[in-house]
């Protein structure tokens, strides 16, 4: 067996998808299955579709291109660049947008391809990432007016994103503002918008607390499906798995060493000045993986007696002093992964994928 590898349990992902999708649909919300953490894994995308997902969302067009034969609509989550509208129209059915210049370019390409590309106009509710700022109603309405004049594109709704940059929690108040904007657009332009795309997995907290405003009918869900987790409340969704992803890494060194480095201290390889606690001599193991391929801050050893001490680019340093198991060179350590570590492992060309 060649290490390291990430083990992906597709049945657990399918199960989580069913559970989360049922919760959403019981509250009038259509879930988009977000695959961006998987670096274009068709296996993971198919598991989501098998679990009931009808729209796959990703931030990379290269990944959506891999999903072209999977029977689901495709949504580009990251704002498209003008330079990539040809691929956008070819591989995505829907995209999130905020700039009329880009939407005009999409219109031209869609007309050329004989397609209708669906547009979700993004509104920034205060998280300060993408979207027209919600208080600038005039700009929102002006952009809507210009979109409606274009051929080859269809304005299907408005959307927002929260927590990813500014860490702003979705609330009844800020999401209610989105509903008001949608209603104002419909009234002024005498149209009906199909959807309000009400953010990502963090927005599930509004279902948890009963504060989801009527009219929010889509959410773009990644963490909640893959980990069964609502991060803003740090709660597990009942009857879901948090261990669908496991990292397996091989031990390449075991040595007794002090817990404190010896000598004059400078910055480490990542320009940090680390601090250490003097715990005397330790039995330390090194696994052949590091920050280039994973993120030690977002992974937990399955053996609870192991502590992660730190990592450099290619060495993961563990404290195995208190382990009952007598580890040897060549033994394998298993880790349960959080979202950031999954992202690193699935993106790395040096970490194999094993699907079960």
Distance CA 46, CA 40 (A): 11
Within-domain flag for 3: no
Residue 291 belongs to some domain of the structure: yes
pLDDT over threshold 70, residue 267: no
pLDDT at 295: 96
pLDDT for res 119: 98
Q: Are 316 and 289 in contact (CB under 8 A)?
A: yes
**For residue 265, pLDDT beyond 90:** no
For residues 309 and 203, state if they share a domain. Answer: no
Q: What is the pLDDT of residue 266?
A: 76
Answer whether 54's CB lies under 8 Å from 21's CB: no
Q: pLDDT digit string (tens) for 144-184?
A: 999 999 999 999 999 999 999 999 999 999 999 999 999 99
d(CA 86, CA 330): 49
Q: CA-CA distance, 222 to 217, in Å (whole number)?
A: 17
Task: State how beta strands 94-97 and 352-355 pair.
Answer: unpaired
**How does pLDDT run across 84-96, given as a tens digit for each residue?**
999 999 999 999 9
Residue 181 lies in a domain: yes
| For the chain, percent of residues with pLDDT exceeding 70 | 99
**Structural domain tally of the chain?**
2
Q: How far is CA 143 from CA 98, 137, 181, 219, in A?
A: 8, 10, 13, 23
pLDDT, tens digit (0-9, with 9 covering 90-100), for 111-120: 999 999 999 9
- The catalytically annotated residue of 12, 18, 36, 291 is 36
In whole angstroms, what is the distance from residue 206 CA to residue 209 CA?
Answer: 5
pLDDT higher than 80, residue 215: yes
Distance CA 103, CA 268 (A): 45
Question: What pLDDT does residue 278 have?
Answer: 74
Element (H, E) at 226: helix 223-227
Higher model confidence: residue 269 or residue 313? 313
Place of tokens 């031209």: 108
CB under 8 Å to 149, separation ≥6 — which residues? none
The pLDDT value given to residue 111: 98
**How many CB atoms sit inside 10 A of residue 42's CB?**
15
Buried b (16+ CB within 10 A) or exposed e, 119-146: bbbbbbbebebbbbebeeeeebbebbee
CB-based burial label for 149 (10 Å; 0-12, 13-18, 19+): exposed
Statement to judge: residues 305 and 223 lie in one domain: no
Is the domain of 17 the same as that of 147? yes
Could you give the dihedral angle defined by the CA atoms of residues 260, 274, 245 and 208, in that order, rounded to the nearest 10 degrees? 120
Assess if residue 1 is contained within a domain: no
The last residue of one of the domains, among 236, 270, 301, is 236
What does the alpha-carbon distance between residue 259 and residue 257 come to, in Å, rounded to a whole number? 7
Token pair belonging to 164: 């990813």
Q: Which residue has the tokens 């695959």?
A: 35
Nearest-angstrom CA–CA distance, 224 and 18: 11
Both 315 and 232 in one domain: the answer is no
Least confident of 40-49, 57-66, 105-114, 274-283: 274-283
Residue 21 belongs to a domain with what CATH number? 3.20.20.10
Q: 38 and 163 in one domain?
A: yes
Task: Kindly state whether residues 159 and 195 are assigned to the same domain.
Answer: yes
Whether residue 328 lies in the annotated active site: no
CA angle 351, 223, 180 (to 5 degrees): 145
DSSP 113-182: HT--EEEEEEEE-SS-SSSEETT-HHHHHHHHHHHHT-SSEEEEEEEE--SSSS-PPP-HHHHHHHHHHH
- Is there a domain that residue 2 lies in? no
Confidence of residue 12 (pLDDT cuts 50, 70, 90): very high
Distance CA 120, CA 289 (A): 40
239-251 average pLDDT score: 98
Q: 235 - beta bridge partners? A: 230
Tokens 């691929």 -> residue: 87
Q: What percent of the chain has pLDDT over 90?
A: 92
Token digits of residue 129: 């990432």
Of 236, 270, 298, the last residue of a domain is 236
User: What CATH number is given to the structural domain containing 279?
Assistant: 2.40.37.10
pLDDT of residue 98: 98
Domain that holds residue 266: 245-355
Cα torsion 203, 207, 213, 215: sign: positive
Cis peptide before 338 (omega within 30 of 0): no
Domain end point (choices 236, 263, 287): 236
* 185 and 294 fall within a common domain: no
Can you tell me the mean pLDDT for 300-324?
97
């Amino acid at each position: 067996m060649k290490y390291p590898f990430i083990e992906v349990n597709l049945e657990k992902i399918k199960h989580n998808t069913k559970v989360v999708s049922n919760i959403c649909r019981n509250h009038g919300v259509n879930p988009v299955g977000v695959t961006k953490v998987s670096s274009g894994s068709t296996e993971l995308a198919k598991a989501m579709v098998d679990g009931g997902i009808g729209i796959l969302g990703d931030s990379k067009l290269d990944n959506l291109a891999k999903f072209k034969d999977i029977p689901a609509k495709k949504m580009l989550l990251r704002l498209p660049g003008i330079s990539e509208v040809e691929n956008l129209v070819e591989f995505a059915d829907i995209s999130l947008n905020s700039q009329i210049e880009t939407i005009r370019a999409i219109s031209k390409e869609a007309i050329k391809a004989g397609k209708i590309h669906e547009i979700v106009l993004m509104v920034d509710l205060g998280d300060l990432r993408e979207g027209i700022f919600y208080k600038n109603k005039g700009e929102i309405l002006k952009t809507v007016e210009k979109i409606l004049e274009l051929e080859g594109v269809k304005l299907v709704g408005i959307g927002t994103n929260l927590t990813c940059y500014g860490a702003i929690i979705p609330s009844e108040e800020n999401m209610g503002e989105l509903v008001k904007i949608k209603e104002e657009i419909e009234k002024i332009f005498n149209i009906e918008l199909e959807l309000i795309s009400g953010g990502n997995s963090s927005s599930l907290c509004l279902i948890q607390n009963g504060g989801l405003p009527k009219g929010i009918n889509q959410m773009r869900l990644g963490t909640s499906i893959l980990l069964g987790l609502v991060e803003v409340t740090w709660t597990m969704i009942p009857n879901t798995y948090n261990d669908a992803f496991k990292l397996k890494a091989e031990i390449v060194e075991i040595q007794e060493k002090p817990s404190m480095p010896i000598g004059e201290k400078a910055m480490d390889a990542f320009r940090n000045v680390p601090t250490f606690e003097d715990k005397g001599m330790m039995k330390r193991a090194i696994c052949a993986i590091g920050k280039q391929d994973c993120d030690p801050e977002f992974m937990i050893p399955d053996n609870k007696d192991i502590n992660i001490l730190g990592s450099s680019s290619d060495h993961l340093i563990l404290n195995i002093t208190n382990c009952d198991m007598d580890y040897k060179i060549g033994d394998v350590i298993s880790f349960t992964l959080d979202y950031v570590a999954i992202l690193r492992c699935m993106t790395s060309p040096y970490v194999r994928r094993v699907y079960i």
